[in-house]
Amino acid sequence: MNETREFYSLIFRETGKFKKMDLPHPTSARADRRNRIVLAASQMFAARAYVEVQMDDLAKAAEVAKPTIYRYFKSKEDLFLEALDGTMNDLVGEVSQVAADPGPAPEVLRRMIGAALRSFARCTAAIRALDGTDAALGERGRAMLRRRAKQIREEFATVLRRGAADGAFRPLDADIVSRAVLGAVRMTSHAEDNPADGRGVETLVDLMLNGLAATSCAKRG
């Protein structure tokens, strides 16, 4: 109410009369502040170790007062988990969007691996930040990561089953294969020289679709 009164007082002082103007919707303004806080936290936790991130720095980066952060998050720990979960949710969304493509399963798988490689590369620093937290917070974070990883595996498994039904893939256990695919993606994306470009995608896809054995070796087997 005080903010509204001050707003209209400012308009009166500048124009000499009151004007009917649209004020920002309170709910929208709160959501915007919260989003700015989470975005700033995501970027900062990706760039620094968890223990190095200070709430004062977060408030400055989000362009809000420090007490404002505590209106939305009880603690630094809660904000960290929210930021990490948001980053992982974006990853799930990217992979799910590609998986929904009704195109040929091998091409969809190729694009899913590419999306996962790029997304995991963005998440790597935040995931590593869990190692700098206390045991309780670390376990909460890892539990969230396991839940998100399961969602991604299910998307891969769905495409693998569709490919097997179409005759594009061998009818292997899709759950096990999806774990292998996601494991390879995560290990590759976490490397310091992460090849999240076409080379990395093509290598992983070729490995998944054709295996390691040369054609002559495969025939002898």
The string of pLDDT tens digits covering residues 199-213 is: 777 788 788 778 777
Whether 118 and 143 map to the same domain: the answer is yes
Q: What is the pLDDT of residues 77-114, one digit of tens each?
A: 899 889 888 888 888 999 999 999 999 999 999 899 88
Domain count, the chain: 2
Q: Domain containing 87 — which CATH number?
A: 1.10.357.10
On whether both 85 and 63 belong to a single domain, the answer is no
- CATH code, 24: 1.10.10.60
Whether residue 192 sits in one domain with residue 99: yes
Where does the chain have alpha helices with state H?
2-15, 26-47, 55-62, 66-72, 76-99, 105-129, 135-166, 174-190, 198-210, 215-220
Give the domain-ending residue among 18, 46, 73: 73
The domain in which residue 205 lies consists of 76-220
Cα torsion through 32, 34, 38, 40, rounded to 10: 60
One domain for residues 83 and 181: yes
Question: If you search the block for the tokens 């009818």, which residue do you land on?
Answer: 171
Q: How many whole angstroms separate alpha carbon 35 and alpha carbon 41?
A: 10
Q: Confidence band (pLDDT; 50, 70, 90) for 45? A: confident
3-class SS of residue 191: coil
